[in-house]
């Protein structure tokens, strides 16, 4: 069975990818399986730059196909923040609860109609001696007033996908994976994933 390494230490992302990649019948590993590999510094200013950086750095080390994901939440009323800095919005310790509470605090004067936002996911696939492929997926929605739901990770409890009356964290993994930014990015890469 072929093996694909997801260049992440985020357990929530790993779970999403494990489910999303089920149809491809491959063995999924992540950097949680390689604790000796140091974190890649995300020095880019765009999702595309950081996804490429993560995919190519890890591919150089492991010399096999690598998928990396750089993602985040863009909030219109905050001029696109936290954007590429989503993971560290409330500080270097990368705490999901602190991050989403900071969003709710910064939006406390913002009315429902102005709380539009989107999740963005850029996936990069790097293979030894090949050009890296990059695709972007988005999921439109809005920021609710209070966290709700127990599923998912990150900002899922405060993000309501457009057209639904539930937060992303109230959806099952299967339901999230039908509409998510990650799914929308991966859909554009089906042909490449098949050939890895
Ligand atoms: O589906 C999602 N549901 C909720 N929140 C999400 C999602 N997708 C990304 N997010 C948030 C989490 C984190 O605050 C940031 C990603 O930051 P990002 O640098 O890409 O990931 P990370 O540092 O957690 O792991 P890594 O870089 O090792 O892949 O956006
Ligand atoms: Mg990161």
Query: How confident is the model over 137-167, as pLDDT tens digits?
Result: 999 999 999 999 999 999 999 999 999 999 9
Residue 71 token pair? 């993602």
Chain mean pLDDT for the chain: 97
70 has catalytic annotation: yes
Q: Over 90: is that where the pLDDT of 135 sits? A: yes
CA distances from 151 to 13, 20, 21, 121, 145 (A): 12, 16, 19, 19, 18
Q: Over 90: is that where the pLDDT of 71 sits? A: yes
Top mutation candidate among 7, 10, 124 for ligand 1, by most atoms within 8 Å of CB = 10
Q: Point out the ligand 1 atom lying closest to the alpha carbon of residue 154.
A: 5
Q: Which of 172, 160, 165, 139 is nearest to 15 (CA)?
A: 172
Domain spans, the chain: 3-195
Give the pTM: 0.97
Ligand 1 shell residues, CB under 6 Å = 8-10, 13, 42, 69-73, 86-87, 99, 119, 152-156, 168, 180, 182
Q: Which residues surround ligand 2, an ion (CB under 5 A)?
A: 87
pLDDT over 90, % of the chain:
98
CA distance 78 to 110: 10
pLDDT digit string, tens, across residues 16-36? 999 999 999 999 999 999 999
CA distances from 137 to 41, 57, 82, 94, 156 (A): 23, 22, 17, 23, 16
Tally of CA atoms within 13 A in the half-sphere of 16 that contains its CB: 33
Q: Over 90: is that where the pLDDT of 13 sits? A: yes
Q: Over 90: is that where the pLDDT of 2 sits? A: no
Residue 88's pLDDT is what?
97
ipTM above threshold 0.90: yes
Q: Are 145 and 123 in contact (CB under 8 A)?
A: no
Ligand 2 centroid – CA 70 distance (Å):
7
Q: Point out the ligand 1 atom lying closest to the alpha carbon of residue 99.
A: 14
Q: Look up the CATH number of domain 3-195.
A: 3.90.950.10
CA distance 75 to 117: 4
Q: Over 90: is that where the pLDDT of 1 sits? A: no
The sign one gets for the Cα dihedral 137, 52, 55, 12 is negative
Q: Confidence band (pLDDT; 50, 70, 90) for 109? A: very high
Residue located nearest, by CA, to atom 14 of ligand 1: 87
Marked catalytic residue, from 16, 39, 69, 70: 70
């Amino acid at each position: 069975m072929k093996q694909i390494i997801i260049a992440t230490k985020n357990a929530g992302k790993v779970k999403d990818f494990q489910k999303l990649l089920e149809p491809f019948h491959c063995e999924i590993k992540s950097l949680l399986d390689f604790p000796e590999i140091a974190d890649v510094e995300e020095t880019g200013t765009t999702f595309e730059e950081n996804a490429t950086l993560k995919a190519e750095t890890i591919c150089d080390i492991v010399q096999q196909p690598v998928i990396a994901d750089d993602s985040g939440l863009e909030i219109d009323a905050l001029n696109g923040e936290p954007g590429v800095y989503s993971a560290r919005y409330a500080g270097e310790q990368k705490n999901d609860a602190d991050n989403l509470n900071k969003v709710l605090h910064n939006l406390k004067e913002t009315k429902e109609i102005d709380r539009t936002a989107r999740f963005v996911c850029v996936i990069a696939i790097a293979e030894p001696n090949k050009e890296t492929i990059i695709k972007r997926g988005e999921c439109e929605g809005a920021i609710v007033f209070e966290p709700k739901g127990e599923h998912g990770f990150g900002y899922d409890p405060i993000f309501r996908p457009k057209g639904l009356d539930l937060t992303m964290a109230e959806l099952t993994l299967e339901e999230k994976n039908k509409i998510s930014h990650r799914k929308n990015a991966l859909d554009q890469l089906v042909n490449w994933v098949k050939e890895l």
